Chain A
Amino acid sequence: MSEKRNVQILIVEDEAGDARLMELALHKSGFAMDLSTVNDGHEALRFMRREDERFLQAPRPDLVLLDLKMPGQSGLEFLSTMKRDDSLCAIPVVVITTSALNADVAASYQFGAAGYVAKPNDINEFIAAIRILCHYWCKRVRLPENPE
């Protein structure tokens, strides 16, 4: 992808503390990126479709980092809805969650996740995990420039 532009990352996470930790770990990875955070799947869809007044200027994400356990619409419902929307389905979604259930892993990939990361409890391990994730998505792979 173009190196001139920051990678746009959308974090979908209902726990404020977990969202802050994610932002910290992403910034520590050292890649040029802009972060946006929303609280649940409904809000994520409004953000990506720019439906809400406050999302009129929302940047189109290059990558979505998705928690699974959220109130309202669950992460899996959001993933399934988004991957059936032709204007959004090209955006890769990586699930990052505390759930270690095999059923969640299998369902995430079936719905189109491009990775499933079980959150390590240790903060240093978490930061290391996010660094590997950024290395793959922000540096190694080519992301769609204009997916619509």
Chain B
Amino acid sequence: MTAEERNFVILLVEDEPADAHLVKAALSENHILADLQHVVDGREAFEYLHREGPRFAQAPRPNLILLDLNMPRMNGQEFLAAIKQEPGLCSIPVVILTTSEVERDVVASYKLGAAGYISKPVDVVQFMAAIGDLGDYWFDLVRLPQKLNAS
């Protein structure tokens, strides 16, 4: 494992603890050596990204954001719209990971700037495979922006 691999930071925005555990297990199962940071809704994700409060003072800038849509306080689409308006944050790719199968959510997410929309498989094996494909693409294949505001 190189330092670069350890430095790959994923911010998971997910209000269901069970789903967050499943994502963590799936990353491990697929040997994706990422630092998984977890927040429970859009508002907390914003606090994380802006390093507000003592809890997030040292928060590492994520290379990728995995975003649930249905959450209390600030939902996924509100968060996505807001982050894509911010010059310092808009270059972070955001992938939707949701149970919503509604076509209008799919279209709206891409229009707001999502870099993929994954329907959460109910089956655990399928879920592992989904995270594996996600890792192959974002972790192994594509180049991501340098950490512009990481200091």
A residues with a Cβ closer than 8 A to B are 83, 86, 89-92, 94, 100, 102, 105-106, 109-110, 112-118, 129, 132-133, 135-137, 139-147
Contacts and interface: CB of A to CB of B under 8 A. Distances in A.
Given A89-B111, A142-B117, 20 more contacts: A86-B111, A89-B110, A91-B110, A105-B143, A106-B148, A109-B91, A110-B87, A112-B113, A114-B93, A115-B93, A115-B141, A132-B140, A132-B141, A139-B133, A140-B116, A141-B95, A141-B116, A141-B118, A147-B107, A147-B111
Contacts, number: 97
Contacts of A100: 143
B144 A105 contact: yes
Given A106-B91, A135-B136, A117 B143 contact: yes
Contact of B137 (A90, A110, A132, A145): A132
A86 B110 CA distance: 11
A44 to B, nearest CB: 18
Contact of B116 (A83, A91, A109, A114): A114
B106 A144 contact: yes
Contacts of A137: 116
Name, among B116, B136, B138, B141, the residue most crowded by chain A CB atoms within 10 Å (CB to CB).
B141
B70 to A, nearest CB: 16
Interface residues of B, number: 32
Given A106-B145, A145-B103, A115 B91 contact: no
Contacts of B9: none
29 contacts: A91-B110, A92-B116, A102-B145, A105-B144, A105-B145, A110-B87, A110-B90, A110-B91, A113-B115, A114-B114, A115-B115, A117-B143, A132-B137, A132-B140, A132-B141, A133-B141, A136-B116, A136-B133, A137-B116, A140-B118, A140-B133, A141-B95, A141-B118, A142-B117, A142-B119, A144-B103, A144-B106, A144-B110, A145-B106
Contact of B142 (A110, A115, A145): A115
A85 B117 CA distance: 21
Nearest to A91: B110
Contact of A109 (B133, B136, B145): B145
